């Protein structure tokens, strides 16, 4: 199934969106592991978020 991205307006397979959601869930899990006091409702700076994304990319997960 395809859907239209609301940001870039391209048609994207639903699988791609699910993979994105799983990657974000994985990032959240890493942050919570390292910082148990962290809450989803709070704010996280771009630098810290990019740090965790880089960890995932370097691990080739």
pLDDT tens-digit readout, 4-42: 776 677 887 776 666 667 778 888 899 999 999 988 888
Alpha-carbon separation of residue 7 from 3, 12, 37, 59 (angstroms): 12, 11, 32, 28
| Contact of 3 with 11, CB cutoff 8 Å | yes
- Nearest alpha carbon to residue 53 among 9, 19, 23: 23
> What pLDDT was estimated at residue 36?
92
> What pLDDT was estimated at residue 21?
74
| Residue 46 pLDDT level (bands cut at 50, 70, 90) | confident
> What pLDDT was estimated at residue 7?
63
pTM: 0.65
């Amino acid at each position: 199934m395809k859907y239209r991205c609301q940001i870039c307006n391209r048609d994207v397979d639903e699988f791609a969106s699910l993979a994105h959601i799983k990657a974000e869930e994985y990032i959240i899990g890493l942050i919570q592991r390292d910082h148990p006091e962290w809450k989803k409702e709070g704010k996280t700076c771009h630098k810290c978020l990019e740090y965790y994304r880089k960890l995932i990319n370097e691990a080739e997960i």
